[in-house]
Amino acid sequence: MGSDVLTERAWGSASTSDPSSTRTTNGAHGLRTASDATLPDPTPIIPYWSAKRHLTCGNAGPRSSSARLFPWRGSAPGKLKTANAALVLCLNIDVDPPDIIKTNPCAALECWVNPHSLPSHKALEAIGSNLQHQFEGLSLKIPYKPILDPSYEDLRRFCLTLRKQAKDETVCFYYNGHGVPKPTPSGELWCFNRNYTQYIPVSLMEVQTWLGSPGVYIWDCSAAGHLLSNFITFAERRDQDAFTTRGGYADGMQPYMNSLQLAACATHEQLPTCPELPADVFTSCLTSPIDIALRYFIMTHHLPNNITPDMVMQLPGDLKDRRTPLGELNWIFTAITDTIAWTTFPRDVFTRLYRSDLLIASLFRNFLLAERIMKNYHCTPHTHPPLPATNTHQLWAAWDLALDTCLRQLPELLAKTPGAPSSPPSPIIGAGARSGHISQHGPSGAPNTEKPYQYIPSRFFTDQLTAFEVWISRGGSALTKRGPLSLPLQNGGDRCDTPDVVNGTTAPDADLVPRKPPDQLPIVLQVLLSQPHRLRALILLSQFVDLGPWAVNLVLTIGIFPYISKLLQAAGQDLRPVLIFIWARILAVDPSVQVDLHNTGGFKYFANVLATQEDNELPNSSEHKAMCAFILSAVARDFYNGQMACWRERVFDACSERLEEGDFLLRQWSALCIAQIWDSNDEVKVYGVDRGIQDKLILMLSDDSPEVRSAVLYALSTFMGAAGGKGQGGAGTGTQYQLEERIHFRMEVAVATGATLAVRDDASPMVRKELLVLISCLVREWRGHFVVCAWMYWEEDRRWRAGEPHIHYHHTEEEVTAQALAEWLDGFGDDEGSREENRVLLSSFFTIFVVLMELTIDPYHEVATLAQTVMDYIFALLLASPFAKLNLIPPLPVDHKPPGANGVHSRVSSAQGSPLMQHPPSPSLSRPSNTLRRTSSFANTLRHLTGGIPFPSSDETRTTPSPVPSSLSRSDFFTASRPPSPNFNIAQYASPYSRPPTPSRDKERDKERERELASPPVSPTAGTATFLPSHVMEALVEEDMVRLRARRREGAHGRRSAGSGLGHAGGSAGGGLNSPCESTFSMDSNVSNVPLGCGTGNGLRDVLPLKSSFFAWCCEYFTEPQMRQTEADEPGSVQYNYQVWRQQRNEQVITETQKQAIVAESSRWDRPVANLHVNSHPLCMAMHAYDPHLVIANDNDMISVWDWTQRKRLNYFCNGNPKGTSITSLHIINQDVGGIIMTGAADGIVRLYRNYDPTVNQGPLQMVSSFRALHELIRVRRGSGLVLDWKQSGGTLLTGGDSRIIRVWDAHTETQVLDLDTNCESPVTSITSDQGSSSTFIVGFADGLVKVFDRRLEEEDAIVRSFHEHHSWVQNVKYHPRISGQFLSASLAGDVRLWDLRGSDAAAQTWDLHHAGLSVFDGHSQTGVFATTSALTPANFRHQRLMVHSISDLSPLSTLSLPTGLNAYPSRQPTPYIPRHTSFAFHPMEMLYAVGQPDGSVKITGCKLT
């Protein structure tokens, strides 16, 4: 059972999602280690009904914490965007402040200018100019204003001007106080008076008032900590006062605490005075980091060739050119500081500081260098918000290595570089003024014939990419326990990133989390800027985002989005696969980027790929085009502008062309893309109808893929008005202004009818669920027609019950509905065409209505719940319609027992707890008159009528069977038990009566409306009506047409504006008809006393159309790993090891049983193995081929699973088939990889269950799927129920029984592939097929016939042989286990016959074993042995004779007399569908068999092989 979670895509498609387009063996790079080669290679085994759709039924899984997107855009409330900057320099050159004692020699350089080398005023200007250039090197878009030695008035004026210009954006305030006293402890900085004779204190309170908020403050002075701490104190006080007195700040203004600060040192520290360093070392680190880093490196490291600081300042290159030495160092520095910040700071802090604003990001990135350098000089820079220390980060070693590699080449670079200056640069030229060009000519301009030195680039990025690749290929997808090596907690909550829920169940290792991401992730982002490394970086990035949503979150938070957006403008073909893959992952995790793709035009990139006809231009073309279709559907989803943009780029046409592609994933997403483009978009719907897209989609409902069929139904549902996004939906197919009114009407009915007839019998509950969404759209728009159908159905049901003697009717007409229909059609006069058209249309509605009724008792709980919602809505409309006032249908007596319910439930008493009884809308509609009464959910009643299990109320949750309470009888417990629920049973019943709470300000209006709704629509005398059913039909049908006209009129005059943006209302095109209580009223009917609108359910809750979760489920595909093997296929994983063990164990069992089979044909079969007691009558049994499991179905339709080696019951659950039916077939499928229990019941339903073995710890028992295998069940006096035969090798299920046909189902496609007529009036009693590749199978009938069918032939020629020697019920047929072409059959008369398909019509051999009759017959599938048991007779019922025979010998191998445990002969059989009292089953592999007796005892006996 370990690999039941395997999907079927692995064998169904050869394509892969690897954007590197290389089919690999292990991961994305095809690295197969030696350890892999030593492991056995498990044979690929196809497990059926184990794909993701079976575990989730198209329901999106719960969003794990890892899928919760962190705000990566920097759009938090504290987002900063710098508008301008003030660069305040208080130097007062040549005058030292009184509180500073300078050393000799002392640091002198300010902005790389020696202030004493020039006159003071020129030096100040040079310093200010250099400082401005250095800041411009960080961000050119911001205007910088140097303020040199300002007076108090100048400072105030400049600050106020900056704030006025910046408006609500951020102001940068830089303060250099090297020429004034240190800041005071009370938070005062210093400037000058106008004559420069006094130092004037300036309080930070004043600065805050001038500059406002937000701001970025840089304090470069000794004791700068005073400014930082006092600023925080004043800011907190201001913010508190603002919130206390004014309730907060005005819109656009941020709290002062949102301001950022960078301080050069702490309160008690003084700036370094080392003469080798500049005086403004803090400013140099922030604004010219490469220059100060080079100077610091040569100060602390010994390099050869006597490299001096002057030589370092001559390092050639341009900071902006990554191909030059200087540009490469700058690139490496940016990558390293980004990575240090990413790996050290909290996620929200990193996003705010490093991904909001270019200047802020540069300052805080360079601050890390300042901290590293200045801490070595006993100076500790500080920031607000405070940041963890980073000066000892291990990546600084990589920075030192990069500097060392570069500087070792410096002497040769300077010696062989033409035009290199021979003298140090001018002291007034700062780092920001580097020319960045290497001259190709000498100083005289003459050509230089000497070959220039070729700079050897650093291997930094290559090595970092290799490290990143190693992390991914060596367990990047592995999970670990929470700790220092795990993914850190997300900010903003106590939730942590956890692995996604896989296949709908939480894995046994749910307490494990992803590993800590590699440190190289920000470096990979930087590598995207380099053309040589770009493809490799993108491939590695795609492999990383393939790990899951948590990886996509990290990549987005780091800041990949701008880079990956610009790459869409690249024309390189080699980047296409990987870009498509990465964008698909991004949109699957964060759909909000649809706006960015639309605004930048990036969606055109994917539209062009999707429209490309040449598949050879793109590796794995189909799968990458499917990703493009997904991306474009995400762009269009819930976004009108995106829809129209995709339409204009002919995406709609490209998708319609891709509907016929061979890859199912491309067909699926093409349909889903169409669905999102025309969702609530009248223009596109008109365009689609003109091109017949809806007809093309209906033809695709026979597709082999259930996902494609569901996607097509989803597209048709959005076409019919279902919401593809967040809206409620409605408004049908829109205006369709190009069609006439009646043609529009017929088109909507034809779409729904065609889809209903195409998939009503689909085996996939996911498909049936999507069909219900489509039907709900039609019900909402044409509710009047469905009310008519419901009334006709109710009347037919009344006539069916008319035979009850105690029921009296006021109307004795036999054909009330026929008369009403005829009178309604007569209203169309002599127009035969109109009469026929309306009759056909009403017939179509009735067909859909009947299918909807069948779906209310669907065996899959979620499908039935949704169908109940739709059906109850229709019957609520019926109860509120004028039909309820016609004195035709009396209330049912409480003691009335409908036929067929075995007198157990009544229509009224069976649903006292129904959801519909919770909130009746008005007293007037539930008065005790001779009208229809609202008694219960009609769907609930229907299920009671069939003897089934009632629906739960809306607040009831699913429960698993528990031991029988002592207070309940066993029969009561069986009645109350429910079958196991599907995995994701998220469907909720929605009552049409329960109203949502209303805001208090609307109470008066709602009370008035309720009074209006409470009054009857008409006011005749109580209990009388002056109109006929035909009048009501005419009124309801006409109102549907009025609603259509209103919809068309509203769509024509109220078009949605093109700029509606996100979240357009799904049902706004309906002209105010979204809710039934808002329906239009008209008195235009010929029947004046039946106002239009009285049948549309005034006061009913708007529960339709249903909402599908299929699109969200499909999107999960792009959040799941595609480049690596599943956990079950990953060597070394628990699942892999378990499957390897199972395969080895299974092969060992096969080898042993093959040896035993030869001996068993001549040995005794009476060795006792185990005795079990099952507390009920075992009727059907099946043994697992490899596990010691015995599955038993009893007479109460309860299924028990036993470990017969331990004599222990593992599980016990209810099958859920209606009372009066029983389980008639039992199989275990997928036995190689675990097992799924398949049951077939007499109601024609097949049900499948997984996780029946709790010892494997795979989760609770779950219903995998269920479907109606046979619809055409016939009533016979003695039926066989549903007979199944499962062929594991081909995934084929043969179904027969009480039917004239044998239906062949394909488990791959979950569709019926063939219906074969039995040409026999008797029911099918047994079916067997060859487990090889043969297409023939053998069928036994109740009249003794045995027929051989060949599925390859035409239906009329499918019966190739018939054998007639049996004269009674054929109990079973079995193929000869060793000789091909021979089979055995046995009848209840006691004769067993051996037939040869290649011989005559006479039996090759006959055994007449039980003269009094035969009970069971079975043959072993591995050895030539069969077994029979005698029938119980009045003369011999205490014991039963069991005989085990060899096919090659007439004498029995063993004969046993088994006690039945009966004290009297049973008067009737335990079930009318199984003509026996006992059960028998051979083990599929081992030499064992099990016998079940009426007293509940089960004996397992084996062969004596020695």
Q: Residue 293 is inside which H or E element, if any?
A: helix 289-300
DSSP states of 443-457? TT-PBP-SPPP----
Rounded distance between C-alpha atoms, residue 477 and residue 496, angstroms: 17
Position 127 pLDDT exceeds 90: yes
Rounded distance between C-alpha atoms, residue 348 and residue 492, angstroms: 8
579/5: higher pLDDT: 579
Position 1020 pLDDT exceeds 60: no
Backbone φ and ψ for 323, nearest 5 degrees, come out as -85, -10
First-to-last alpha carbon distance for the chain, in angstroms, is 33
Omega prior to 214 cis, within 30 of 0: yes
pLDDT in tens, 523-535: 988 888 888 888 9
- The first and second tokens of residue 1402, run together, are 């006479």
**Mean pLDDT, the chain, integer:** 79
Contact 594, 635 (CB under 8 A): yes
Position 371 pLDDT exceeds 80: yes
Residue 616's Cβ-count burial label (10 Å; 0-12, 13-18, 19+) is exposed
Mode of pairing for the β-strands spanning 1245-1250 and 1262-1268:
antiparallel
Q: Tell me what pLDDT residue 580 has.
A: 94
Contact 979, 904 (CB under 8 A): no
Angle, vertex CA 699, rays to CA 694 and CA 701, nearest 5 = 100
Q: DSSP character for 708? A: H
Contact 1341, 1304 (CB under 8 A): no
Q: Tell me what pLDDT residue 191 has.
A: 94
Rounded distance between C-alpha atoms, residue 460 and residue 397, angstroms: 11
Rounded distance between C-alpha atoms, residue 809 and residue 300, angstroms: 108
Q: Tell me what pLDDT residue 419 has.
A: 52
Q: Which of 574-578, 666-670, 990-994, 1344-1348 has the lowest mean pLDDT?
A: 990-994
Rounded distance between C-alpha atoms, residue 757 and residue 244, angstroms: 67
Confidence of residue 1273 (pLDDT cuts 50, 70, 90): confident
Backbone φ and ψ for 718, nearest 5 degrees, come out as -65, -30
Q: Which of 268-272, 881-885, 948-952, 1338-1342 has the lowest mean pLDDT?
A: 948-952
Kindly provide the residue ranges of all beta strands, DSSP E only, lying in 61-132, ordered along the sequence: 82-89
Q: Quick count: other Cβ atoms within 10 Å of Cβ 1466?
A: 14
Confidence of residue 982 (pLDDT cuts 50, 70, 90): low
Rounded distance between C-alpha atoms, residue 1054 and residue 1077, angstroms: 21
Contact 576, 610 (CB under 8 A): no
978/1061: higher pLDDT: 978
Confidence of residue 1097 (pLDDT cuts 50, 70, 90): low
Distances (CA, A) of 783 to 149, 751, 1037: 82, 16, 9
Structure-derived torsion over alpha carbons of residues 924, 926, 931, 937, reported in degrees to the nearest 10: 140
3-state helix, strand, coil in the chain (%, to 5): 40, 15, 45
Residue 928's Cβ-count burial label (10 Å; 0-12, 13-18, 19+) is exposed
Q: Tell me what pLDDT residue 492 has.
A: 40
Q: Which residues contact 288 (CB under 8 A, 6 or more apart)?
A: 112, 134, 137, 430, 431, 432
Helices (H), 964-1109: 970-976, 1003-1014, 1029-1053
Position 1376 pLDDT exceeds 80: yes
Average pLDDT over residues 723-732: 80
Position 1006 pLDDT exceeds 60: no
pLDDT in tens, 175-226: 999 999 999 999 999 999 998 889 999 999 999 999 998 899 999 999 999 9
Rounded distance between C-alpha atoms, residue 58 and residue 67, angstroms: 18
Confidence of residue 1098 (pLDDT cuts 50, 70, 90): low
Confidence of residue 981 (pLDDT cuts 50, 70, 90): low
Distances (CA, A) of 651 to 495, 634, 676, 1387: 40, 13, 11, 63
Q: Which of 591-605, 970-984, 1009-1023, 1267-1281 has the lowest mean pLDDT?
A: 1009-1023
Distances (CA, A) of 1429 to 1388, 1469, 1492: 10, 16, 11
Average pLDDT over residues 38-51: 64
Contact 1374, 1419 (CB under 8 A): yes
Average pLDDT over residues 41-54: 74
Q: Which residues contact 82 (CB under 8 A, 6 or more apart)?
A: 139, 142, 169, 170, 171, 172, 216, 357, 359, 360
Closest CA to 1329 of 1386, 1365, 1284: 1284
pLDDT in tens, 500-559: 444 444 444 456 777 778 888 889 888 888 888 889 999 999 999 998 888 898 888 888
Position 1004 pLDDT exceeds 80: no
Contact 400, 369 (CB under 8 A): no
- Indicate the SS3 state at residue 1389: coil
Contact 133, 432 (CB under 8 A): yes
Position 990 pLDDT exceeds 60: yes
Confidence of residue 450 (pLDDT cuts 50, 70, 90): low
831/1016: higher pLDDT: 831
Q: Please, what sign has the CA dihedral across residues 483, 487, 491, 492?
A: negative
- The first and second tokens of residue 108, run together, are 């002198």
Q: Residue 558 is inside which H or E element, if any?
A: helix 549-558
Q: Residue 867 is inside which H or E element, if any?
A: helix 861-879
pLDDT in tens, 1410-1456: 888 898 999 999 999 999 998 888 888 888 889 999 988 878 889 99
pLDDT in tens, 460-501: 999 999 999 998 888 766 676 666 656 666 544 333 444 444
DSSP states of 215-283? EEEEEESTTTHHHHHHHHHHHHHHHHHHHHHTSSPPTTPPPGGG-EEEESS-TT------TTS-TTHHH
Confidence of residue 984 (pLDDT cuts 50, 70, 90): low
Confidence of residue 1218 (pLDDT cuts 50, 70, 90): confident
DSSP states of 760-787? TT-S-HHHHHHHHHHHHHHHHHTHHHHH
Closest CA to 1312 of 1302, 1299, 1325: 1302
Q: Tell me what pLDDT residue 1073 has.
A: 37
Q: Please, what sign has the CA dihedral across residues 347, 352, 356, 359?
A: negative
